[in-house]
Amino acid sequence: MIKKINLVGEKSVSSFIHNLLMIILIATVFTYSVMLIMTICGYTSVTSNKYTFISCPAGANLALLELSDINKNILTKYVFRLTMYYVPSAIIDSILIYNVSMLFENFSLNKIFIMENFRKIRLISILFIVSTILENIAVYFAAKELINLKITGMQFIPKFNLMDSNYIYGLIIIVVSEIFRRAMELKEDQELTI
């Protein structure tokens, strides 16, 4: 016997997603704040060893051990710039996750075709596109540090990424918001048909 899964309403997949997104939001904000503080502390540290290791993500530390000092400094500057330039994008992403979470909360309360949801979906699509632009700007300007990286046989040429698929996803979400608005109008017509 196949158990029917509730996608909307009380104790449904929507309420699970809402709760999950709230946890992800808190974890994201906390993690990024800690990373930011550690990066700033590492960059302003007096000791060059601390500067190298604290300002990099954990996995990158192992790779840094193998590089010459010139490359270590360049890579550390790159990571520092990336972390700092990512701040606007991280703020936008947090607002985006919050809005998606609230959207699923409305779904879990059986409030589906309402004006608030249409506005949230439209905002989500705009935030998605803006976040992608900011991320690409951050990566481009941080990557400019890598031009000075000296690895035999390799040359780094930073380019601004225009072919990001996230732009298409943002447009798709805008269309979905318009479909929501039409559905809202149909619902209103149906409710006011006696």
Interacting residues with other proteins (CB under 8 A): 188-189, 192-194
DSSP 5-43: PP-SSTTSHHHHHHHHHHHHHHHHHHHHHHHHHHHHHHH
Q: Pick the closer one to other proteins by CB: 63 or 186.
A: 186
Compare residues 116 and 188 and give the one whose CB is closer to other proteins.
188
3-class DSSP assignment, residue 157: coil
Residue 36 or 184 with smaller CB distance to other proteins: 184
Per-residue DSSP letter, 47: S
State how far Cα 173 lies from the chain centre: 16
- The distance of closest approach from Cβ of residue 193 to other proteins in the complex, given in angstroms and rounded to an integer, is 4
Minimum CB–partner distance for residue 180 and other proteins (Å)? 20
User: Contact at 8 Å (CB) between 184 and 115?
Assistant: yes
Contact partners, residue 43, CB within 8 Å, separation at least 6:
51, 55, 80
Instruction: Provide the minimum distance between the beta carbon of 20 and other proteins in the complex, in angstroms, as a whole number.
Output: 38
> Whose Cβ is closer to other proteins: residue 27's or residue 115's?
115
Angle between helical axes of 115-143 and 166-191 (0-180°, round to 10): 170
To other proteins, the closest distance from the beta carbon of 114 in angstroms equals: 18
**Shortest distance, CB of residue 189 to other proteins, whole angstroms?**
5
- How far is C-alpha 94 from the chain's CA centre? 7
Q: In this complex, which beta carbon is closest to other proteins, that of residue 152 or of residue 193?
A: 193
**Number of C-alpha atoms within 13 angstroms, CB side, residue 76?**
27
